[in-house]
Structure formats: structure tokens, C-alpha cells
Structure 1
Amino acid sequence: MPGIRIITDSTADLSPELLAANDVRVVPLLVQFDEESYRDGVEMNPDRLFRMVAERNKLPKTASPGPAAFREAFAEATADGSQALFIGISAKFSATLQNAQIAASEFPEGQVRVFDSRNLSTGIGLQVLHACDLVRAGKSMEEILADLEAYQAGVRTAFVIDTMEYLHKGGRCSGVAALVGTLLKIRPVISVVDGGMIVAAKVRGARRKALEWMLERFAEDAAKGRVRPERVFVTSPDAPHEDAPYMVEEVRRILPDVKEVIVTRAGAVIGSHCGPGTIGILYATK
């Protein structure tokens, strides 16, 4: 029966179970080691990624799917006359949105819509699942897009980076800065603001201090009654991350009426930029 089909890319970091339960299709980004190309979540996962980085002492490049991959996904989703809504990684991070728009333009006007999440990882996933909620509520495409615009502005994304090695290998900090950061045990907290990444804090000392920094920001929003209680994500490329149970427990303590605290694993594309040991808290505010 025709309806509205939701599509996202692999950087949304939603588990196979969540994707299946919400009938969400995924177009994978690519992880490239020299001439070798792997689809994120298909041929490449974080375990394999971290092993290959250690063996080769270099980071891969990541790339967006080409328009043909989106064309195929959109054609499948709309074959029965349905509309398709693609929600993807911020245009500031990747050409993914641009390629999706190229493919969407080949379909009848309005049949395929493309929405910039202005986020990454489960910051995208929150918006994808919210869109699924709206589809189940019987909302039209225009109503969903208008709601997502407002919802998107309230998404809060923060990750603690556990090792400076990947930032250095990826050219995001100098060798001196990486060495000093490692010696002083400085742990950057990365947040997403206006569709791009910023260093929200540089926490010195044990990782638990950086976790507390994120939880304090969450608690401030919760105390003001601003956190949407539907779902909160704790996301890491590690499976499992040793601090995930603590994060879940603290989220539930801070926000007792939260309906779901979902632990998900970040994929290889996100993992290639942040490295092992990274963990984040992602939620939506009103």
C-alpha cells in the first residue's frame, strides 16, 4: 500500500533491529583504503576498521554514495507509488546530500524529498525515528518536513574522544598537539552546532570527568523540562563500550520519565573520524 518510506544513510548509526522495526532503508557510505572500497555496515565495521588502521598505520578516506546508489534506493521505495523521504548526514560533512538531491531530481516532483539532518550519527537517527513516528501518526509529507525542521533545531549531540591518535592521523590536530593532549590526558568533547562540529570542551584527567561534563549538560536541559522523553541514545563505535551501562544508568536517574535509552554502535565511517573509546550522548530538546 502506498505511503511514505523513510530512507537514511549508514552514518545514522541505527541498529539492524531499529531499522527493521521502523522499516527504514539505508544507503551506505564508503570507507576507502587506497584502492580498496568498502560499504559502511556491509563489508566494513568498526572492528575491521580499527584492525586495518593499526596494521597500516593510516586512516582510510570516507566517501559518499554516488547518485546511482540513491537512484536505486529511491526507485525501490517508490515502486508502489509511495513517496520517499531521505534524511541524511549534514551537508557540511559530506557530499551525500548533494548526490541524493541529484537522484531525487530524476523522479516526479514531490515523490522523493531530501532532508538535511545537519547532524551526524544518532543525531541523524533521532530525526529518522521521529519521522517514522510521524508517518505512523498519519502525517503528510509536508507536515513531516515542517515538524522535522523544528525538531532538528533541538537535537543535542556530544561525543567524548578517548584518543588523540585518530584526530592526528586524520589531520585534525598536529603531532605536537596530539602528544601534549595524550600526556596531559586531555579528552576533547565534540558537539554539533549549526550542522558542523566544534570542540565544546577539553576535559583534562580521567575519562569519567568528560562523561560527567556531557551528563551535566544533559541534566541542565532536563532540569528545565526541555528534554523530549521519547528516546535518548548512548552511541559508541565500541561493542560494548565499558562506560555505556554507567551512561544509561545516569540518563535514567536524571530523567526518570525517559521512555527509551538506546545503546547503539557507531559505524565505520563515524569510527574512522573519532577512533575507539569514543562515546556520546544524543537527545532531542523541546
Structure 2
Amino acid sequence: MIKILSDSTCDLSKELVQKYDLGIIPLYVRLGDEEYLDGVNISPEELYKWSDEHGETPKTAAASVEDISKYLDPDSSDEYIIFTISSSMSASFNNVRLAAEDLEMSDRVYVIDSANLSTGIGLLVLYAAEMAKAGKSAKEIVQEIENTKAKVCASFVIDTLVYLHRGGRCSGVAALLGTALKLHPRIAVADGAMHPEKKYRGPSKRFVLDYVKDMEAELKNARPERVFITHSGCDREIVEAVRDYLSGLGVFDEILETRAGGVVSSHCGPGTLGVLFIAK
């Protein structure tokens, strides 16, 4: 049997995790001296409250080798395909690899460095689960995923620069100027790292829709299976406007909405929204 797992940064909803029979390995989120499990006993809203009260970004950490080992059964004949957040952003990939080595299971534990984050990982996870259900072998699935990774289009637009500043990803001057000028940067993931692209201005609904509309050509050339709207807490009206726009393109079989988990939300802050898909 092939089991598909991911660390919690894939930001897949509980409904999708259940539907595709996935295993989720939570990362740690630390608020001062208190430690929590991402997606288990801490919510993004609690993270925002703590961050605002303390003026700093929560710390995050990968699951330990010992933690990961609990998800692997050395006495079974199961094969495991495990996805992690980009190895340039976390020790998650390396810790999964070490756990497999410690249990002498490296021959049947396939660790995939997604080179991505959030539902950029989730798109690959669901694709792998579909291939497993279709009877593909673990090696066939891994090879196809490796061929697909570079086709994942993952980006998001930031509402506030405050949280990026607190996390050391934006200077204080840039954060102040950006806030004063109401600038909202688009961040894209490429080569396993986050890169700032263009900036938008205006109220939330306007800049979010401008961001989505700028991707129209790419969206029309996307694989039709699914597109994700992933956000860290946006007004319902904004999310529905994005959904209506994507639906109007007539490209996608399903439009999935998920909330970003604690690890992603703690760095990007509330009001962030991304549209993520796989190019043909």
C-alpha cells in the first residue's frame, strides 16, 4: 500500500485530508515559551493576537526526527511518499530523510522536497494521491511529481507588511513606507524561495482582484483539474469575488478554498490571499 503524507505547511483542509486519506505531520509554532502544533491546537487568529500584543512573529520549527518516526511503520510493507515545505525554508525535508534512515526504511520512504509552500505543496499532494488511487507505483508517482514541481504556480498578495517586518523579511523603513502608501506586494515562489514581484495599491477588494486578473493568461493555460484560493483570513466578499472571476474563466473543474495554517499565516499576516495552480 502507498501512503501519502505531507508536513502541515501544505495547508489542506480537513475535508481534503479525509477525502484523499492523507497523513499530516504538524510543524511546531512557538509563542514565547509556549509550544503548539500547527493545525492541531493553535489557530491563526490566536497567532495574530499574540503577535500584535508582543510585536514579534511567532517562531516555527520542523517536526523532529522522533516525531516523524511515529508516522512510519517499519514492520509493514507499506511505501510512503512524504512531501515537505521547500528545504531552503525548513529542516522538515532533512528530518524526514533522517527518520527514514534511522528506521532503515529509506528503500520505501520517498521524501519529496516540494520547493514550495502552502497549497503549492497541496497541489502536488493531491496529484500524488490521485495517481496512487489509479494504481501507479510509488516510483512512477515520485518521477511524475518531480517532473511537475516546476509547473506549480504559487503566489500571493500581502495586505499588510507589518508581519513580514516582524519576521525580518522586510525592513522597518520599507514597512512604514508601504503602509503609508498602501502598497501590497505580490510574492511568488520560484526555485524553492520567495521572491517579491510587483506591488499593488488600493483597497483590499481592488488590489486582490488586480492581482488575480494579472494572471489571466497563465490561468487560461493551467491544468483544469483544480485551482486553489488560499488565504490567511480575508473578507468573505473578497474571496467570493475571486471565486466568481475564476469560475468565469471556464477553465477549472473545481475551485478549492483553504485557510493558510499557522506557519504560513504567522509570517504573512491576515488578509493575504493567493491563487495557486499547475501550468500545463
How large is the Cα RMSD of the aligned pairs?
A: 1.5
Equivalent residues in 2 for 1:1-286 (5 A)? 3-75=1-73, 79-106=75-102, 107-223=104-220, 226-238=221-233, 241-254=236-249, 256-286=250-280
SS at structure 1 position matched to 2:71: helix
Deviates more, 1:48-57 or 1:203-212: 203-212
Cα shift readout 1:176-220 (whole Å, capped 9, x = no counterpart): 211110010000111001110000211123334432343234311
SS at structure 2 position matched to 1:105: helix
Is the contact made by 2:154 and 2:275 (CA closer than 8 Å) also made in structure 1? yes
How far apart are the structure 2 equivalents of 1:79 and 1:121? Answer: 32
Deviates more, 1:102-111 or 1:8-17: 102-111
Cα shift readout 1:23-57 (whole Å, capped 9, x = no counterpart): 10111011112221110011111011111112222
Long gaps (5+) in structure 2? none
Is the contact made by 1:13 and 1:265 (CA closer than 8 Å) also made in structure 2? yes
SS at structure 2 position matched to 1:243: helix
How far apart are the structure 2 equivalents of 1:20 and 1:146? Answer: 25
Which amino acid is 1:49 matched to? L
Long gaps (5+) in structure 1? none
Identity of paired residues, percent? 40
Q: Residue 217 and residue 144 in structure 1: after superposition, are their counterparts in 2 closer, same or farther (change >3 A)?
A: farther
SS at structure 2 position matched to 1:113: strand
* Residue 125 of structure 1, CA deviation: 0.3
Which amino acid is 1:15 matched to? S
Is the contact made by 1:241 and 1:277 (CA closer than 8 Å) also made in structure 2? no
* Residue 168 of structure 1, CA deviation: 1.3
* Residue 108 of structure 1, CA deviation: 3.1
* TM-score normalised by L of structure 1: 0.93
